[in-house]
Amino acid sequence: MANGQEGGMSMREQAIVDKILEKAPYAEGKVRRERRIEFTVPAERIRDFLTLLKKNNFELMLQITPVDWPNDGEIELIYQIWSVTHRTHVMVRTRIPRELEKARMPTVKDIYPVAETYERDAHDFFGVYFEGNWKMEMPWILDDTEQDIYPLRKDFDMLQYVKKKYKILDRFDENKDNYVI
Amino acid sequence: MVAQSELIKEARENGMDLLPLDKDTYELFFGPQHMATENFSIILKMDGHRVVEAIANPGFLHRGFEKLAEFRPWHTNVALLLRVCVPESDVPETIYSMAVDEIIGWEVPERAQWIRTTVLEMARVSSYLFWIMGLSFKLGVYTAGQWAAAYRERLMALFEQLTGARVYHIYTIPGGVRRDIPSDRWLHQLKDTVEYIKSKLPDFDHLVFENYITFKRMEGIGVMNKKFALSEGVTGPNLRATGVPYDVRRADPYLLYPELDFEVPVLNEGDALARALIRRFELEQDLYILEQLLDMGPPSGPYQVSDPRLKNLPRFKVPAGDAFSHVESTKGDFGAYVVSDGKNKPYRVQIRGPSIAHGIRVLEHLLVGSRIADVPVILMSLDNCPPDIDR
């Protein structure tokens, strides 16, 4: 795609970033490319920051992406929001410790109601607990037997789990001559 | 207050397998075997034939794609991730490929861009025809549904000629597309098919979209307003039916869409009928886009980037980085977020399906107060697609 106005277009994004950073000095922000900006925010200020974004016409929350970084001992949470008004996608990055008892975040469901669903998803697969979201304990995609294993974390041993769950190692009876399913 | 055990006993004696909650209310499991829900279940609390409370219960199609994608080489993942969206499998292929292209910094050749755009629009048309089939079955207008399935079959045959497969095409790969257009004959056939489907649209109008039954069944049910839709992350035709002209093809243009001329239909009612009509108007626009693409003709040149690393795909490495890309599917804003740590496999892939917003909280909200006969119609008007909730 040839775009002759690229320099002019990213000026528009820079203006949005500057305007947000002026009101939120605790955050860091940059323009990734045309129509893509990102901010890095400390975890305890996430609610303030998302409230600010919502006031600045970032209306649609698209997803909350957890990414596990076991070498850093952290889980990165990326709140991805699209602004219909500014036609810009924003990623708000924050990092929290990945130990189960410390992997806690305040919920943002009162700011973006749809976040309730994304938070349930993040809890089921990554074990991030969102305080204030009462649907945390409700069953989501995984079965009851699959709770508390958090399969999308990097230290989840998929092969061992599959062998254990589907009993691949002991498909034979005690005499080892009859194949049993 | 009657004890629940007595109610259950009474229900059993009368041959009912429902779970009574109170004198007049009972619990009803709607799906996952129900035809309308498509491997998705809703727990309904009913008062007579009115829904008092609805609880969406997803998870029947969970296959762990996001985890599996972390164990496969970059190009192999295309064959896995496209299963996230069954009726238009080209969408997950394309968003994944676009995100990987962005991380690597590849400029996809013009011919590949033309083919990708054409394939996406063909997928949109076939998905809308599939949706007309579903909707008309739920409304009881069976003839139109069978027509739609038959016309979709023509597109399936064209897909088979182009990609070798009917439903899961595994065609759009990082760096371009897998094969070139088979021949000029294929382009002529596509042109004929577009004209043919276009000539049949008045029949659908006559039978479904201007039908008294459709208006009677869909008008004024499942109403949501603009503010609610935006705060609940509703996208696509469902959002445009509430008056927000947000279309990814316009708002965040990709591939050849900046050069194409099309309208973004918007209605303000926000009910099931408005959502259905928006889809009908968009089908027309998609056929118009396909006509423009065919008039433009595929540009000459390669259909893949030329990169010596592509000769050894299992060891193909992508530089560290991350990218988000999204396209407009018939269900809404379909996005993929891909993280690479410089190895021959992705570090993390997340697929954002539109139904995770439409199928859980929005559905639970819209169903309250509706009649049980309207539940499939509301589901169909939202065009809920469970595989992209469960992934």
> In the block, which residue shows the tokens 């539940």?
B375
Distance CA B317, CA A181 (A): 40
Residue B383 has what pLDDT?
87
Region B58-85 average pLDDT? 88
Separation CA A88–CA B235 (nearest Å): 15
Cβ contacts (< 8 Å) between B244 and chain A: which residues?
A: 84
The answer to whether residue B29 is domain-embedded is no
Structure tokens of B354? Answer: 């539109």
Report whether pLDDT(B391) > 60: yes
pLDDT, tens digit (0-9, with 9 covering 90-100), for A116-159 = 999 999 998 998 999 888 888 888 888 888 888 888 988 888 77
**A141 and chain B in contact, CB less than 8 A:** yes
E strands present in B289-374: 321-328, 333-340, 348-352
Rounded Cα gap, residues B68 and B83, in angstroms:
12
CATH architecture, domain defined by A6-165: 2-Layer Sandwich (3.30)
Per-residue pLDDT, averaged over B146-168, amounts to 91
What per-residue confidence (pLDDT) applies to A77? Answer: 92
Q: For A143, which residue in chain B has the nearest alpha carbon?
A: B59
**Which one of A76, A92, A114 makes the best mutation probe of the B interface by having the most chain B beta carbons within 10 Å?**
A114
Query: To the nearest whole angstrom, how far is the Cα of A84 from the nearest Cα of chain B?
Result: 7
User: Residue A67 half-sphere exposure, CB side, CA atoms within 13 Å?
Assistant: 24
The confidence band for A101, taking pLDDT boundaries of 50, 70 and 90, is confident
B246 located within any domain: yes
Rounded to a whole number, what is the distance in Å from the CA of B121 to chain A's nearest CA? 18
Q: Cα torsion for B235, B236, B239, B242, to the nearest 10°?
A: 180
- Residue A97, classed as helix, strand or coil, is strand
pLDDT higher than 80, residue B35: no
Residue numbers of the domain that contains B303: 65-353
Residue B114 included in any domain:
yes
Tell me how far apart the alpha carbons of residues A177 and B99 are, in angstroms, rounded to a whole number. 51
Are the CB atoms for B388 and B332 separated by under 8 Å?
Answer: no
- The residue behind tokens 């609880």 is B55
Asked if A63's CB is within 8 angstroms of B337's CB, the reply is yes
Burial grade of B110 (CB within 10 A; 0-12, 13-18, 19 or more): middle
**Phi, psi of B150, rounded to the nearest 5 degrees:** -70, -40
Cβ of B64 within 8 Å of Cβ of A151? The answer is: yes
Residue B2 scores a pLDDT above 70: no
Nearest CA in chain B to A57: B230
B246: nearest CB among A68, A84, A113: A84
Q: Answer yes or no: do A114 and B57 touch at CB < 8 A.
A: no
Residue ranges per structural domain of chain A: 6-165
Those residues whose C-beta lies under 8 Å from the C-beta of residue A80, and which sit 6 or more positions away, are A61, A62, A63, A64, A65, A89, A90, A91, A92, B324, B335, B337, B352
- Asked if residue B240 has pLDDT above 60, the reply is yes
Q: Is residue B58 part of a domain?
A: no
User: How do A28-33 and A36-40 pair as beta strands?
Assistant: antiparallel
Search chain B and give the residue with CA nearest A90. Answer: B324
Residue B177 in tokens: 């597309």
pLDDT above 90 for B42: no
**Contact between A130 and A142 (Cβ < 8 Å):** no
What pLDDT, on the 0 to 100 scale, is given for residue A179? 58
Residue B125 has pLDDT above 90, yes or no: yes
Average pLDDT estimate for B322-326:
91
B365 shares contact with chain A (CB less than 8 Å): no
Of residues B232 and B310, more confidently modeled = B232
Dist CA A43 CA B146 (whole Å): 53
Query: Which of A87, A114, A118 shows the shortest C-beta gap to B231?
Result: A114
Residue A132 — left, alpha, or beta (φ > 0 → left; ψ -120 to 50 → alpha)?
A: left
Q: Is B372 helix (H, G, I), strand (E, B) or coil?
A: helix
Segment B25-46 mean pLDDT:
80
* B67–A158 CB contact, under 8 Å: yes
Residues 6+ apart with CB under 8 A from A119: A64, A107, A108, A109, A128, A130, A133, A136
| Separation CA B328–CA B237 (nearest Å) | 10
Residues of chain B with Cβ-Cβ distance to A125 below 8 Å are 66
The answer to whether A168 contacts chain B (CB < 8 Å) is: no
Would the CB atoms of B335 and A62 count as touching at under 8 Å?
yes
**Residue-wise pLDDT tens digits, A25-56:** 888 888 888 888 999 999 888 999 999 999 98
Return the number of CB contacts < 8 Å for A and B.
Answer: 85
CA atoms of B112 and B177, how far apart (whole Å): 6
Q: Is the Cβ pair B231, A87 closer than 8 Å?
A: no
Q: Chain B window 199-258: which residues touch A at a Cβ cutoff of 8 Å?
A: 230-233, 235, 244, 246, 251-255, 258
Question: Given the DSSP bridges, would you call strands A36-40 and A88-97 parallel, antiparallel or unpaired?
Answer: parallel
Measured CA to CA, the distance from residue A52 to residue A90 in angstroms comes to 13
Chain A nearest-CA residue for B350: A65
- For the ranges A166-180, B308-322, B327-341, the one whose mean pLDDT is highest: B327-341
CA dist B188 and B192 (Å) reads 6
CA B121, B124, B128 angle in degrees (round to 5)? Answer: 145
* Torsion angle of the four alpha carbons A130, A132, A137, A139, in this order, in degrees rounded to the nearest 10: -80
Q: Which of B1-5, B110-114, B342-346 has the lowest mean pLDDT?
A: B1-5
**pLDDT surpasses 90 at A81:** yes
The domain tally of chain B equals: 1
CA distance A154 to B174: 25
B161 close to B186: Cβ distance less than 8 angstroms: yes
Contact (CB<8Å) B57/A139: yes
Residue of chain B with shortest Cα separation from A114: B232
Contact between chains at B230 and A82 (C-beta distance less than 8 A): no
Residue B132 has pLDDT above 60, yes or no: yes
Q: How far is B277 from chain A (nearest CA, A)?
A: 22
Mutate to test the interface with A, among B98, B322, B327, B389 (most CBs of A within 10 A): B322
Q: Can you give the CATH number for the domain in which B149 is found?
A: 1.10.645.10
Interface test with A, best of B39, B62, B266, B343 (most A CBs within 10 A): B62
Query: Which region among A7-11, B41-45, B215-219 has the lowest average model confidence (pLDDT)?
Result: A7-11
Helix ranges (DSSP H) in chain B: 4-13, 65-68, 78-81, 90-104, 110-139, 142-163, 184-204, 212-218, 226-231, 237-240, 248-251, 272-296, 355-357, 363-367, 375-382, 387-390
pLDDT above 80 (res B3) = no
* pLDDT computed for residue B7 by the predictor: 66
Q: In this complex, is the C-beta atom of A82 within 8 Å of any C-beta atom belonging to chain B?
A: yes
User: Could you tell me which chain A residue has the CA closest to the CA of B227?
Assistant: A59
pLDDT at A4 over 50: no
Q: In which residue are the tokens 């207008």 written?
A: B141
How sure is the predictor about A1, in pLDDT bands with cuts at 50, 70 and 90?
A: very low
Question: Distance (Å, rounded) from C-alpha B1 to C-alpha A62?
Answer: 45
Please state, in angstroms and rounded to a whole number, the distance separating the CA atoms of residues A86 and B9.
60
Q: Are B356 and A117 an interchain contact pair (Cβ–Cβ within 8 Å)? A: yes
pLDDT band at residue B1 under the 50/70/90 scheme? low
Q: How confident is the model at residue A180 (pLDDT cuts 50, 70, 90)?
A: low
Supply the DSSP symbol for B44. Answer: E
Domain assignment present for B45: no
CB A89 within 8 A of CB B252: yes
Instruction: Say if B285 falls within a structural domain.
Output: yes
Report the share of chain A in percent with pLDDT over 90: 24
